[in-house]
Structure 1
Amino acid sequence: MAMIKVVSAPRRILLAGASGTIGSAVAARLNAEGHAVTCASRAALGDPALLAATMADARPEVVISCIASRSGAPKDAQLVDFQANIVLLDAAQTVGAAQFILLSAICVQKPLLAFQRAKLAFEARLVASGIGYTIIRPTAFFKSLSGQVKRVKSGKPFLIFGDGNLTRCKPISDRDLAGFISEAIGNPEAANRILPIGGPGPAISLREQGEMLFAAAGRQARFRSVSPAIFTWAERALQPGAGVSDWFAQKAEYARIARYYATESMLVLDPVSGHYCTDLTPEYGVDTLAAHYRELLLAS
């Protein structure tokens, strides 16, 4: 969806998750646009009384949540992706905020993981709450596709799953995503909607990401294939202990998370065909992954 940009008067905004990479980009964008931004601390999200006091001082017209579980482990996902957002929503309604903008994730379309189910549970509560809402589901972030920069720079091959074409995505930069979030503020086209969003296309595979990175480094592309089945084997080995040990439960979930991202595309899931669809995945912004790779290589 390419929203019509609405230029509105500065708003009073409470932002949760400003310490993260996306949240900090959102804070910078909102401040640059002249909004009165109050950032809710992580401590406030864990303390309803402190959050209520913060809300009372800020009197936000709009609340934006960029909080997310850092690990994806079941308990952490329940605590952050669901419960912390519930506390934030309750506080937003108490002070009469008109809009709640939630940064979710495109992968919740196919919920096989604990953090996806926690996100969906909160999305449902938000939709049913009666507050004006906008749920934004971005595709892959540049940061999540940058883990192999040092490998390539040091001369090691780029790791792929299978032939490297199992998945595709339209990655979006922090800056562009922050712009999309800011354009949803008070925008009638974003009112009470769930909005998937990607960066400028085309959709790229893992192999194409590697080729892009090698090109940015001025090196001949080299790949090493890994079977996604290793994550299935790891989960099976860990699962027997999951019922009695949090450590085993977390490690088994990490294996499921790794398998998911190795085999599932970060694109819109066509409800008719059941397949991921490039054409149905909206594009926004100007930043490219290739330029991001060049910047990282120069900085490292």
Structure 2
Amino acid sequence: MRIVLAGASGTIGRAVQQALEDSGHQVTAITRSDFASEDGLPKAFAAAKPDTVISCIASRSGSPKDAEAVDFLANLRLLKAAEAAGAEHFILLSAICVQKPRLAFQHAKIAFERALKASQIDHTIVRPTAFFKSLSGQVERVQKGKPFMIFGDGNLTRCKPISDRDLARFIADCVIDPARRKQVLPIGGPGPAISLRQQGELIFELTGEEPRFKSISPRLFTGAAKVLSWGAPLSDWLAEKAEYARIAHYYATESMLVLDPESGEYSAEKTPEFGSDTLADHYRGLLKEHG
């Protein structure tokens, strides 16, 4: 099929482009220059004549202004260009955390999800759990002999992380699977669900070192957000920093799993799994890479 892909310069986007090309699709990658002018997207879409549009774009900072500009408005421009070009299917890479929206970027993503569902184009909304990359920041730290940082006792949250490659294959499969149209699809990698403490234990096991942890209270982020919010109306910088503190608190206290509407609790059992790449194998690769 003819596919327009936005966000191909990111880690997920690159993997998606590779998976699409491996499946024999004709892919046109939308660049930032296409967004720079009013006629950039229409021209690109007119040349590509896409059957399907895939958006992997996301705000980098999560700040209110960035989220509005990218997660909502940029995606809305993509949708309008897709409609004008006669595309039949729009696949959106969203996030599982929008189930319980408290942050600016979550509200921006939900706003676009609503617009997409209301359009005439068939939609598929993919909501992945945590990525391997987001769980890898402390590998080098542990390798240097430092303790693994946890929030509370390290068991406040759990997730079923998915690799870039497996997520890309899942998205590529959405192109040709009619059963995935007009669907919101949460997706994780191979289970079981893993807590922050278990992530640390896994790294220590792979390095052959005794587990050492240092605990931080999530309340620190709450306090920081409150203090920074006092000056937010007067300073964009303070507003952004306050949002960063709220983001940190959210990820320190909320699981990246399907939220069971009946119980109101996160459910590992209700979180679908896909792929074969494991976090343990990913950590092994990083440890080898870092020497």
Please state which band the TM-score falls in when normalised by the shorter chain: over 0.9
Aligned to 1:32: 22
List per-residue Cα deviations over 1:149-183 (Å, max 9, x = no partner): 11101000000000000000000000000010011
Aligned to 2:285: 295
Is the Cα contact below 8 Å between 1:140 and 1:266 reproduced in 2? Answer: yes
**1:276, distance to aligned residue in structure 2 (A):** 0.3
Matched, 1:177 2:167: yes
The range that moved more, 40-49 or 117-126, is: 40-49
Matching residue's letter, 2:171: I
* Structural mapping, 1:262-273, within 5 Å: 262-273=252-263
Aligned to 2:39: 49
- Corresponding residue SS for 1:202: coil
- Corresponding residue SS for 1:134: strand
Is the Cα contact below 8 Å between 1:45 and 1:88 reproduced in 2? Answer: no
Aligned to 2:153: 163
Stretches of structure 1 lacking an aligned partner (at least 5 in a row): 1-10
Matched, 1:103 2:93: yes
Is the Cα contact below 8 Å between 1:48 and 1:87 reproduced in 2? Answer: no
- Runs of 4+ aligned residues of structure 1 deviating over 6 Å after TM superposition are none
Match of 1:241 among 222, 231, 236: 231
Query: For 1:211 and 1:238, how far apart are their aligned partners in 2?
Result: 34
Aligned to 1:232: 222
- Corresponding residue SS for 1:282: coil
**1:217, distance to aligned residue in structure 2 (A):** 1.7
Query: For 1:129 and 1:140, how far apart are their aligned partners in 2?
Result: 28
| Residues paired across the two proteins, number | 290
Query: For 2:17 and 2:227, how far apart are their aligned partners in 1?
Result: 43
Identical positions, percent: 64
Matched, 1:15 2:10: no
List per-residue Cα deviations over 1:73-104 (Å, max 9, x = no partner): 00000000000000000000101001000000
Query: For 2:75 and 2:57, how far apart are their aligned partners in 1?
Result: 8
Query: For 1:13 and 1:218, how far apart are their aligned partners in 2?
Result: 46
**1:45, distance to aligned residue in structure 2 (A):** 2.5
Matched, 1:123 2:109: no
- Corresponding residue SS for 2:20: helix
Query: For 1:146 and 1:22, how far apart are their aligned partners in 2?
Result: 15
Aligned to 2:192: 202
**1:122, distance to aligned residue in structure 2 (A):** 0.0
Matching residue's letter, 1:116: Q
Query: For 2:180 and 2:209, how far apart are their aligned partners in 1?
Result: 43
**1:236, distance to aligned residue in structure 2 (A):** 1.2
Matching residue's letter, 1:160: I
Q: TM-score, length-normalised on structure 1?
A: 0.96
Aligned to 2:204: 214
List per-residue Cα deviations over 1:22-61 (Å, max 9, x = no partner): 0000011111111100000022124330111111111110
Matching residue's letter, 1:168: R
List per-residue Cα deviations over 1:94-124 (Å, max 9, x = no partner): 0100100000000000000000000000000
Stretches of structure 2 lacking an aligned partner (at least 5 in a row): none
- Corresponding residue SS for 1:163: coil
- Corresponding residue SS for 2:256: coil
RMSD: 0.7
Q: TM-score, length-normalised on structure 2?
A: 0.99
Is the Cα contact below 8 Å between 1:160 and 1:223 reproduced in 2? Answer: yes
**1:243, distance to aligned residue in structure 2 (A):** 0.6
Matched, 1:148 2:138: yes
